[in-house]
Each structure stands twice: as C-alpha cells, then as structure tokens.
Structure 1
Amino acid sequence: MTDKKVAVVIGGSRGIGRQICIDLAKQGYAVVVAGKSLSDASAVHPFPPDPNSSQSTSSTVAREITEVGGTALALAADTRNPASIEALFSATWKHFGRLDLVIYNAGAIWWASVAKTSMRRFKLMQEVNVEGLYATVQSSLPYFERGGWHGRIIVVSPPIYSRFFRGKTAYAMGKVGMSVLTKGLAMDWQREGKKDMAITSIWPASAIESAATLAASNDPEQRQDLRHPSIFSDAILAMLAAPATTVNGLLDTDEDFLRNHAGVSDFSRYSLVPGTSPRRIMPAEFPSLEVAEQADEGKRVDSTLVSRRAAKL
C-alpha cells in the first residue's frame, strides 16, 4: 500500500517513456515501469545507460528512480498478450493497492505504402498499437472502479487529420484507431457521469529524440529538427493538472497543449540543439470531428441488451 498516486507507464523503458517515468516520479508518483522484458539493472555499467539504447530497460529506469529516493517497480508486460496486461494490473494493485494513472506509450512502427507493408507487419502494428491499448483499457477499468472512478488514461496517439495517412496507411489505421478509442471512452464516461475520469491523447508537434529517431539523432543536420523528450512529459504533467472535464476526449499535441493550457510561449529550451528551431511536423490547425447533428443519435442500440433478449427467445 502507498499514499502516493500510482502510475502505470506501458512502454516506459527508454526514450520518451523513460522521461515520462522519471518526471512522474519527481512529481511524487509511485511509478510502475512496464516493458517487454526485465534485466539485471545492477550489472549495467556505466549507469545510467543511454536512454535510447537497448541497455535502457524497465529495470534500469526503476533503478534510476529509486536511487534518488523515488518509488518505482519494474514489471514485464507483453502488449500482444491480454493475459500479460491483466497480470500487470493485478501485480500493481497487489503491490501498491491503488491505481491513478495509466500511460500507453507502447508502439510498433512501419512507415511505408500499402503495397510495401506485408500482412505480418500490419498485424504486428494492430496487435501492439490498437489491440494492446484496448486490452490495457479493459484490464485497468476494474481497478479504477475499485478506486471510486478517480483517474486518468493518457494515450500516445495523434489528432485525426488526412495528411497523417499518407505513406504510412497501415500504421495510421492503428494509431487513428487508438484516437477513436480515446474519443469513444470519453463519451462513455461523460454519459455515465464519471466526472473524475479522463482519457486524453497526446502526440509530438515536432520530432523528439528517441529510439525511433535514432538515425536523425546521429545526423548533425537532422538533429537540429529534434526536441528533448521533456517537452512530452511536461505536456503530460500539464494535462494531469488540468480539470478532467477539460482533457477528457482531447486529442492534442505537446506544444499546443502547453501553449493553450499551460501558458508556455517559449519552446527554445526543448530544442535538442541549442539555438535551433525544430520544424513542426503537425498541421497548424486540426479539423473538428463534430457534425451539425452531434447530439442526434436516434435510437441508441446496446448490443449487450440485444443479446440478452435474444437469449430469452
């Protein structure tokens, strides 16, 4: 049991995920660092390891936190296996006795045309991205219920806009699906009156140094277009500080949220190369997903009730 708020960060072993874990711990969270596998953190020399290397694991991140007096627990979780996700939340509750925050940062990436994306790669991305998130949400809900429906879920997925699909359709199908889950679950909670629950999606406005941008990090010219991962964790902390009603169902970028909700106007401190202005990769504005008849659902169908009626016939 702990009096601290408890955060489960799935995909917290390196890069952006590691930064999120470190900064949450600094804010007083007990952090469950979840990744595909664990390691012997005591055997890593020098320590801490390069945060974008394979030496950075859930175990080393947990060690980084505990060595400076924070609270952390490293747990293995395979996002392709729903039973593994269920075990993650069960172990978290058994160890800490509470759950306040879930961050889904796990992801599989393959950017190519449909013709150049095999079925094997397509299935991997759907399993890790959208199916992994769905399993995470399903597994976490009973524990949020135990806590009285007070909590947050943060999803690393983008605002929905047409340019995102270009050249990476298979990847976009999963990522946009994750954003649809954010919108849909937010509507469920709003309809059910769960005012202290919020699910929010966040995406980088400019490229961020991570394992996914390693090639750019090693190229002096491309390096100038990268930001430090602290911009992402700062935006998440700002989202957590905002009222649940403000961020529930929101699809936003790190830069835009910090500017519009945290009063940040100078982003120069986040430039990986001092004095540079990383190129924004997101559109200046995003389309609204609402329609003129937004509130008109007609007669809503609940398949669980339909199934019960069918069973009685």
Structure 2
Amino acid sequence: MQRVNLEGLYAVVLAALPHLQRAPGGRVVVVSPPIYSRFFRGKTAYAMGKVAMSILTKGLAMDLVHDGLKDMAIISIWPAAIESAATAQFTNLRPDEAYDLRKATIFSDATLAILNAPASVVNGELHLDEDFLREHARVTDFSKYNLVPGASPRRIMPAQLPDLTVAEQDDEGKRLDSSKKARL
C-alpha cells in the first residue's frame, strides 16, 4: 500500500507537472485526508500512507508558490462518509449504517468545485468533501446527497480540523533541492 499510495502519487505528480505547467490553471486533486490524530486509530499502517499523501500536498503547494506558479494548485480532498465498496462491507452486515452515508455525487461535486475555484483558495488545502462544498460552493442543503432519503447522516469526522500552519511558515532557511544528488 505504501508504494501505491505515496510512491505512486509522487511518480504521477512528478510526470504530470510539466504538462500542467503548460496549461493555465492546472490542478492536482489528491484523495487523502486532513491530518488529525483520531484518523490513525486502528489503522496505523493505512494512515501512514494516506497522511504521507497529505504531506505531499502541503509540501508541493509550498513549492508551487515558491516557484511562482500561482495559477497551479494541489489539494487533498477526502470523502466524509459516502457509499463505496469500502462502506459496503459495513452496510451489508448492518443495513441501518446506510443512514449515515451520502451518495458519491457529493465527492464528485466537491471535486468539480475545486477545479473551478481559484488556485489561491485550494492550493495546499486538506478538505473534506462536505466542508469544501459548504465553505466554498455555498451548499447549505445536503439532503440530495443522503443515501437514504429523509435521513440525517451524522458527521463522523471531527467538527474542527487542526490548522497545520505555523508563524514561521514562509521561512525557508537554506533551500535544498532534494532531487539533485549532493556532491561529496
């Protein structure tokens, strides 16, 4: 999983960047979670790969800004609770769990909104699908996304996610290009 999630993402992004630089408004949309402690519980190995993808998002976003590529952006988006092959294993055993799920269209709608948002709004962000729609696409009624009509899916993710920025965010210190081999 680590090779697929992190190394695969890194290789694809590295290969895509030159093409995205030629197209105005290039976007990389990564499926990885906001970073928060409860995500690790019970799935440490899985979380290691997914959080590393989120770190790639944060780091590459800083590099894009540093390199003056202000119209490009990379963002991570994570489905809060949607119907999928992963959730089917739970709803098959406990059909009532479907009341807490949303249709996958919430994720696709959030992704489309990301593609249409200014780079300055999305670059380096780690968002949940529903939060992005609420904060940036002004969606207030999520009932059309409920998997079970009339249900009120509970929020399974933290209400407040941590902000990972620090006061010294823009202090680069000595900048090194880790892709170049150091001369000894």
* TM-score range for the pair, normalised by the shorter chain length: over 0.9
Greater strand share, structure number: 1
Tell me the distance in 2 between the aligned counterparts of 1:235 and 1:255: 7
CA contact (8 A) 1:224 1:277 kept: yes
In structure 2, relative to structure 1, the CA distance for the partners of 1:215 and 1:262 (3 Å cut) is same
The letter of the residue matching 1:212 is A
1:136-181 superposed Cα distances (whole Å, 9 cap, x missing partner): 1112123224x24541110010111111111111000000000000
CA distance in 2, matches of 1:290, 1:244: 18
What letter is aligned with 2:79? P
Asked whether the 8 Å contact 1:217–1:226 carries over to 2, the reply is no
Q: Which amino acid is the alignment partner of residue 16 of structure 2?
A: S
Aligned mates of 2:2, 2:39 — CA distance in 1: 17
The structure with the larger Rg is: 1
Q: In the alignment, which of 1, 6, 9 is matched to residue 133 of structure 1?
A: 9
Does the C-alpha gap of structure 1 residues 301 and 257 become closer, same or farther in structure 2, counting only changes over 3 Å?
same
Q: Which residue of 2 aligns with 1:240?
A: 115
CA distance in 2, matches of 1:222, 1:138: 39
Question: Is 1:280 aligned to 2:139, yes or no?
Answer: no
SS in 2 for 1:163: helix
Q: C-alpha deviations, 1:4-58, integer Å up to 9, x for none?
A: xxxxxxxxxxxxxxxxxxxxxxxxxxxxxxxxxxxxxxxxxxxxxxxxxxxxxxx
Tell me, yes or no, if the aligned pair for 2:83 and 2:102 is still in contact at 8 Å: yes
1:139–1:305 CA distance, 2 compared to 1 (3 A): closer
Taking the TM superposition and a 5 Å limit, the aligned residue runs for 1:109-120 are none
Amino acid aligned to 1:174: G
Query: Structure 1 CA distance, aligned partners of 2:167 and 2:26?
Result: 31
Assess, with a 3 A threshold, how the Cα gap between structure 1 residues 188 and 221 changes in structure 2: closer, same or farther. Answer: same
Identify the residue that residue 216 of structure 1 maps to in structure 2: 90
| Matched residue type, 1:239 | I
- Over 3 Å counting, the alpha-carbon distance change for 1:226 and 1:191 in structure 2 is same
Match 1:184 to one of 59, 68, 72: 59
SS of the counterpart of 1:167? Answer: coil
Quote the Cα distance in structure 2 between the aligned partners of 1:299 and 1:275.
Answer: 56
| Distance in structure 2 (CA, Å) of the matches to 1:133 and 1:302 | 19
Contact kept? 1:149, 1:194, Cα under 8 Å: no
What SS does the aligned partner of 1:224 have?
A: helix
| Deviation, structure 1 residue 287 | 0.9
Q: How much does 1:297 deviate? A: 2.8
1:201 aligns to what SS in structure 2?
strand
Identity %: 67
Q: CA deviation at 1:135?
A: 1.3
1:302 to 172, 177, 184: 177
Provide the C-alpha distance between the structure 2 equivalents of 1:257 and 1:133, rounded to a whole number of angstroms. 22
Summarize the Cα distance change of 1:148–1:233 in structure 2 as closer, same or farther, 3 Å threshold.
Answer: closer
TM-score (norm 1): 0.56
Specify the code of the residue in structure 1 equivalent to 2:11. Answer: A
- Aligned-CA RMSD value: 1.7
Q: CA deviation at 1:280?
A: 1.2
Q: 1:130 to 1:266 in 2, by over 3 A?
A: same
Which fold has the larger relative contact order, with Cα–Cα distance below 8 Å and residues 6 or more apart in sequence? 2
Kept in 1, the 8 Å contact 2:20–2:27? The answer is no
The unaligned stretches of length 5 or more in structure 1 are 1-124
Task: Report whether the alignment pairs 1:266 with 2:141.
Answer: yes
The Cα shift of 1:305 comes to 6.2
